[in-house]
Structure 1
């Protein structure tokens, strides 16, 4: 079940065929989901996003943004310095970042072979310790390799899957969500796809298309998770991955990552004190960027690489696509998620579909009057 299955449409631009990040050509997504009834209760996993099949030896341009930094995404310093993403992207829980990173290093060595090069994989995290035995380190290297193996294009599973298995969003059950937008240009079309791991936000601030849904679906209608004492509401995090086939340069990718933060705000996220809200955007439109520019025929270094760039006047439209797709991806994460009972009896309840539709319908009736 997705937002559009409930008649909830975000924005005005058309989606790609799968309304997913995989609508960007050659992008693939893979999940491994881990469940185990406790004690200890295990509800976690790993998700990978592969920008294109040759990413291990053919970088793409990328840029990043931080809304609030109570979180981690490895590899960002090199992206900020070079503007290049050189690996697949991993998403998991906070205490499994290291093992996922190491497994991605192994995957790059396997793909490229031994050599004098280094690997700085990108791995983002959000905290699932309310529902999952996070200190048990249940995500292992073989799970990362399996996620890479099963990664595919087409429809993307959402909700309680992969890295999003144990996540909570706006105090409803959260997780993985995705969406896409397409725009026509004189030379064809550009696609922007987004995937989120949503584990952020407070119930009372949740807005859907400007409607105060969180206020209308209060704790009296759908119980709050019941977090431990001194756990500040809104603590958690969101990771947003934006991909596009538009030929963007690194600074343009950074601008797209910044706009994804506006979508988080549109739905009511404020970048709370203990929320790690991190955004990464990559662009596959400039392919053929080698890790080392070498002219094989002349056996000399190549002094230049030909590139393309989206015209500045088209960036506003790409901003719109990014914001719309990010909003819908977050909403899809909640709509697709199912109620989960985790450690110490903690329960994250799903966003009730009927109540969501009712909240939006009541607003429309009021407007018609």
Structure 2
């Protein structure tokens, strides 16, 4: 069950057909999930890959920008985005200790697809959150085969949520977390563009959880917390990927990424020192971008571009905030019970449990 299936409508905007990041034309998502045991230890982890364009990202880069709300996290490739404003590779999300192998595998895959690698280099964007309570994170079980599987499975259409891909071992607001997605499509009079969001939610304290503005977390405190005897609530992170088909320039993508903070705040997150809150936005609205085969001969000296006038950009900001808010709730609702290696339960947030808590706070589905 997703939020809208329960009658929970967050914000004023309308979602796209799938209410997913893949409502942005050309965007594809693929997961590779590991649920096994290795040398007696529980493995609950994986990789999620986002392809920004229908073809290879290097053939038609996207403008992109990023924002760091709290920097207790890690990512590769962001310095080049800061410098050039271009996303030239797929995006990947995994666990904290697997960034390196995922990055290296994405480079190897680029090498395999290049006719002349001498004229091209790449710095893939890989982001992370920590899954060490549910996963043997020190075992570094994500390997090249998982990255390849996620790339090969990347597709348009509905996006699987919850304990899949990079979100397999994640915990959110002391419930099972993971992958969540949502979108907003602007009406024609506001440009008709779509903003899609994918989150890897692994953050937040239960008592701070809010849904549609209502403090439901305070009504859920009787449910045992997985942090009762180990760790500290909120000691996780959240990664947010925002996509849009609006013609945004790099600095506008950065401004869009900043609005993820609002969606996280609306659900009660964003205040923990131990949380890495990193957001990246990319825009596919400029279609004729030159390829990123650096050193290639015959490229034009300039490229004609479009941009959204700042007088009309505010609806995109609102769409981003709403979609992030809904994606987090969708990630929570997709979570199912999972236990740590020593038997501590990480409970999934059951739809009926959430609705009961909402009603206790005064929420009215008919309003």
TM-score by length of 2: 0.94
Q: Does 1:82 align with 2:84?
A: yes
Q: Does 1:310 align with 2:313?
A: no
The answer (yes or no) to whether the contact 1:130–1:227 under 8 Å persists in 2 is no
Q: Which residue of 1 aligns with 2:175?
A: 172
Structure 1 residues 292 and 159, CA gap change in structure 2 (3 angstroms): closer
Q: Which residue of 2 aligns with 1:341?
A: 339
- State the secondary structure of the residue aligned to 1:278: strand
How do 1:204-353 and structure 2 match up within 5 A? 204-218=207-221, 220=222, 222-226=223-227, 228-229=229-230, 231-291=231-291, 300-353=298-351
**Alignment deviations for residues 41-98 of structure 1 (CA, whole Å, 9 cap, x no partner):** 0100100000012313321000000010010111100000100011000010000000
Q: Which residue of 2 aligns with 1:41?
A: 42
The structural deviation recorded for 1:282 is: 0.2
Structure 1 residues 354 and 83, CA gap change in structure 2 (3 angstroms): same
The structural deviation recorded for 1:290 is: 1.5
Q: Which residue of 2 aligns with 1:107?
A: 109
> What value does the CA root-mean-square deviation take over the aligned residues?
2.0
**Alignment deviations for residues 159-198 of structure 1 (CA, whole Å, 9 cap, x no partner):** 0100000000011100000000001235962000000000
- State the secondary structure of the residue aligned to 1:115: helix
The answer (yes or no) to whether the contact 1:57–1:112 under 8 Å persists in 2 is no
Counterpart Cα distance in 2 of 1:328 and 1:187:
21
Q: Does 1:56 align with 2:58?
A: yes
Structure 1 residues 133 and 317, CA gap change in structure 2 (3 angstroms): same
Q: Does 1:28 align with 2:32?
A: no
Counterpart Cα distance in 1 of 2:242 and 2:190:
22
Deviates more, 1:317-326 or 1:350-359: 350-359
Q: Which residue of 1 aligns with 2:129?
A: 126
The answer (yes or no) to whether the contact 2:73–2:275 under 8 Å persists in 1 is yes
- State the secondary structure of the residue aligned to 2:111: helix
Structure 1 residues 365 and 145, CA gap change in structure 2 (3 angstroms): closer
The answer (yes or no) to whether the contact 1:46–1:90 under 8 Å persists in 2 is yes
The answer (yes or no) to whether the contact 2:63–2:283 under 8 Å persists in 1 is yes
Counterpart Cα distance in 1 of 2:202 and 2:299:
46
Instruction: Report the number of matched residues.
Output: 362
Unaligned runs of 5+ in 2: none
Structure 1 residues 115 and 329, CA gap change in structure 2 (3 angstroms): same
Unaligned runs of 5+ in 1: none
Structure 1 residues 353 and 96, CA gap change in structure 2 (3 angstroms): same
Q: Which residue of 1 aligns with 2:203?
A: 200
Structure 1 residues 271 and 107, CA gap change in structure 2 (3 angstroms): farther
The answer (yes or no) to whether the contact 1:156–1:178 under 8 Å persists in 2 is yes
**Alignment deviations for residues 247-266 of structure 1 (CA, whole Å, 9 cap, x no partner):** 00000000010001111111
Structure 1 residues 8 and 366, CA gap change in structure 2 (3 angstroms): closer
Counterpart Cα distance in 2 of 1:15 and 1:367:
18
